[in-house]
Chain A
Amino acid sequence: MSKTDTAAAPRPRNEFLLLAGNALRFTGKALTSNPTTLVGAIIFVAIVVLAILAPYISPYDPVAQRITIRLQGPSWEHWLGTDYYGRDILSRLLHGARYSLVIGILSITLAVILGSLIGLIAGYFGGRIDIVIMQVMDVVLAFPALILGIILVAVLGASVTNIIIAIAFTAVPAFARIARAPVMTLREREFVQAGYALGFSDLRIMFRHILPNIVPEIIVMASLWMATAVRTEASLAFIGLGIAPPTPTWGGMVREGFENILDSYSVALFPSLAVLVLVLALNLIGDGLRDAIDPKVGTNS
């Protein structure tokens, strides 16, 4: 962590490049030093590639119905079987991955930006601003993500945008907390004090000198919370608060498959496993990254 303020390498002029460089260097180190992160990353990248290629590699149209072959088990024509409307489950899974990933990535990106900004402001200014902001965050954090998600989506209505907003909202306090704590200690460090002495503006100190130092913590939280986001999205869709059918989403597929579970297990089982694998991959990444930034845990494992 102290690397960023003592690094002898020429520093990029651009703030964004500095942040991105930090993030890349940290992720690269974690990937090479920890096998669990590597396994998680490989699975995650594979799912992303499959999702991007979905329109080209799907054997069938994900929404084309063929009532004559409905609820079939796995076969050579349909590797994972067909659902109640005779749609190919594999094709629907591949397309569904896009929604899980887009909602997971966008909602957590939104939460990271809003949350770290809020935490940065609370920790940097301290005092009354800090107390009020963190009290509000604590109230939101007190709610389980799923319950909060149900309430918000029920109120806003189930669309891709609203689901992203609702899930982002549940994760904002976590990022505010994670950003605030190191800011409070960093504020007292010499290099930040030197910034004050040189007459740098609050904004410059916050974004140029403090933000790069909390990047590793934020990346760890982001991967763990993205696991929660994917799980929440799937759970909401399972409850019936997902993107409207016939759009293929994993949670929605499980919901439809569950209604016919006595006739065919595959419609409910395969999308369930898909959610599990994606969440597991994200948790593996997050766990490995956490070990990489925590020296104590690192030596333990």
Chain B
Amino acid sequence: MLGFVLRRLGFAVVTLLAVLTLVFFVIRILPGDPTVVILGDQASAQSIALLRERMGLDQPIALQYLQFLGGALRGDWGTSLVSGRPVIQEVLNVLPHTLELTAVALVLGVVLGLPAGVWAAVNRNRIPDYVTRVVSLLGLSAPAFVSGIVLLLVFAIVLRWFPVISGGQGTTPLERLRDLALPALNLALIMAAYVTRVTRSSMLEVLSQDYVRTAMAKGASGFAIVWRHALRNCLIPVVTVVGLYLGILIGNSVLTEIVFNRPGLGKLIVGALNQRDYTMLQGMMVIYTLIVVLVNLATDLVYGLIDPRVQYK
């Protein structure tokens, strides 16, 4: 077990280093001198030289690389070219909003998707099955901005139940919940689509097992068989999908934050893109890499914990 954890940890560190290296060199080979991009075409040679020195661009590339790595690991990701504040601070300011959104969406998605999948499986090839299959296929086909716009049109613009701009600045718990509701529901519906599909097929597989027949033979009720015996055994593939989906969830949160105009990493990266804020972009790449690596690590470990049969090889 310890070996397994250490190996996964090792892989995570290697991934992180590989991506950081890639980010460093990619930013360097970008067409155009970053100092010219920052100062504009009209800048004097003197001010460009001054900025190059301040940014450390006059150092040898190997030294720059080591300083970049050291800085990234210490949490010194440079200062934003637009706001002048440290990148790490800007990221940490909005990170809670994104984490709140994805965490709520994750829980809500499982709460909606798991029963739907079980419902479809026990009614195989009957109307509930067809309905859930069509709806879940729709859910996993919809780009997050499409479902977001439909939700926004229906619930915020036509029905006026929710604010058009979610803001995320609500002070009372009720206001915060109202701000969170639509964006979280948007992400959760797509999440639920994945969970429903995998629960259905996993449940179908489990229901065909011998011990389910035994349970039926001893006279256990259908309810007890499904919810007590079968559900626990069909959870392993579900956990895998939830883990895999966490990455996609982070991607979709970018689109969701834009549609609902909610502060978070998504709004930050789009702002950085529009304003050509290279240090901010570099920092965003680091934070996304960090999140993806941590999520994958956690999924691997949880998977190992849930299924004792997993060989830690």
Which A residues are within 8 Å of any B CB, using their own CB?
135, 138-139, 142-147, 150-151, 154-155, 157, 227, 231, 234-235, 238-241, 254, 258, 261-262, 265, 268-269, 272-273, 275-276, 279-280, 283-284, 287, 297, 300-301
Instruction: Flag if B273 contacts A241 (CB, 8 Å).
Output: yes
Instruction: Flag if B152 contacts A254 (CB, 8 Å).
Output: no
The answer to whether B92 has its CB under 8 Å from any CB of chain A is no
Question: With A142-B15, A155-B30 in contact, do A280 and B141 touch (Cβ < 8 Å)?
Answer: yes
| CB contact between B247 and one of A144, A155, A301 (< 8 Å): that residue | A144
Which residue of A has the minimal Cβ distance to B23? A151
- Known pairs A143-B247, A279-B143, A300-B204. 16 more at Cβ < 8 A? A139-B15, A139-B18, A145-B248, A146-B248, A146-B255, A147-B247, A147-B250, A150-B254, A154-B273, A155-B26, A235-B144, A279-B141, A279-B142, A283-B140, A283-B141, A300-B201
Give B276 Cβ to nearest chain A Cβ, in Å.
9
Which B residues are within 8 Å of any A CB, using their own CB?
11, 14-15, 18-19, 26-27, 30-31, 124-125, 137-138, 140-146, 149-150, 152-153, 157, 164, 201, 204, 247-248, 250-252, 254-255, 258-259, 269-270, 273-274, 281, 285, 288-289, 292-293, 296
Residue in A147, A254, A268, A276 with the greatest tally of chain B CB atoms within 10 Å: A147
Instruction: Flag if A144 contacts B30 (CB, 8 Å).
Output: no
Give A291 Cβ to nearest chain B Cβ, in Å.
11
Residues of chain B within 8 A of A227, CB atoms compared: 141
Instruction: Flag if A254 contacts B292 (CB, 8 Å).
Output: no
**Cα distance, A151 to B289, chains bound together (Å):** 11
**Cα distance, A143 to B250, chains bound together (Å):** 10
What are some 29 contacts across the A-B interface (CB < 8 A)? A135-B11, A135-B14, A139-B18, A139-B19, A142-B292, A142-B296, A143-B288, A145-B248, A154-B281, A231-B141, A235-B144, A235-B255, A239-B258, A240-B274, A254-B149, A261-B152, A261-B157, A265-B153, A268-B149, A269-B150, A272-B146, A276-B142, A279-B143, A280-B137, A283-B137, A283-B140, A297-B201, A300-B201, A301-B125
Residues of chain B within 8 A of A138, CB atoms compared: 11, 15
Instruction: Flag if B149 contacts A269 (CB, 8 Å).
Output: yes
| CB contact between B255 and one of A239, A261, A276 (< 8 Å): that residue | A239
Give A260 Cβ to nearest chain B Cβ, in Å.
12
Instruction: Flag if B146 contacts A275 (CB, 8 Å).
Output: yes
Which residue of A has the minimal Cβ distance to B252? A146
Give A225 Cβ to nearest chain B Cβ, in Å.
13
Q: Is the interface of A mostly helix, strand, loop or mixed?
A: helix
Question: With A142-B292, A154-B281 in contact, do A238 and B145 touch (Cβ < 8 Å)?
Answer: yes
**Cα distance, A262 to B149, chains bound together (Å):** 12
Instruction: Flag if A262 contacts B157 (CB, 8 Å).
Output: yes
Residues of chain B within 8 A of A239, CB atoms compared: 254-255, 258, 270, 273
**Cα distance, A223 to B309, chains bound together (Å):** 34
Give A188 Cβ to nearest chain B Cβ, in Å.
20
Give A42 Cβ to nearest chain B Cβ, in Å.
16
Residues of chain A within 8 A of B288, CB atoms compared: 143, 147, 151
**Cα distance, A218 to B58, chains bound together (Å):** 49
6 nearest interchain CB pairs?
A146-B251, A144-B251, A280-B141, A272-B146, A144-B247, A279-B141
Residues of chain A within 8 A of B124, CB atoms compared: 300
Residues of chain A within 8 A of B247, CB atoms compared: 142-144, 147
Residues of chain B within 8 A of A275, CB atoms compared: 143, 146
Give B86 Cβ to nearest chain A Cβ, in Å.
21
Residues of chain A within 8 A of B150, CB atoms compared: 269, 272
Give B260 Cβ to nearest chain A Cβ, in Å.
11
| CB contact between A142 and one of B152, B157, B285, B293 (< 8 Å): that residue | B293
**Cα distance, A230 to B203, chains bound together (Å):** 31
Instruction: Flag if A276 contacts B251 (CB, 8 Å).
Output: no
Instruction: Flag if A240 contacts B137 (CB, 8 Å).
Output: no
Instruction: Flag if B18 contacts A147 (CB, 8 Å).
Output: no
| CB contact between B270 and one of A147, A155, A240, A269 (< 8 Å): that residue | A240
Question: With A142-B247, A287-B137 in contact, do A234 and B285 touch (Cβ < 8 Å)?
Answer: no
Residues of chain B within 8 A of A297, CB atoms compared: 201
Question: With A142-B15, A142-B292, A258-B259 in contact, do A265 and B157 touch (Cβ < 8 Å)?
Answer: yes
**Cα distance, A139 to B125, chains bound together (Å):** 39
Residues of chain B within 8 A of A150, CB atoms compared: 254, 269, 273
Which residue of A has the minimal Cβ distance to B200? A300
**Cα distance, A147 to B31, chains bound together (Å):** 21
**Cα distance, A264 to B104, chains bound together (Å):** 31
Which residue of A has the minimal Cβ distance to B150? A272
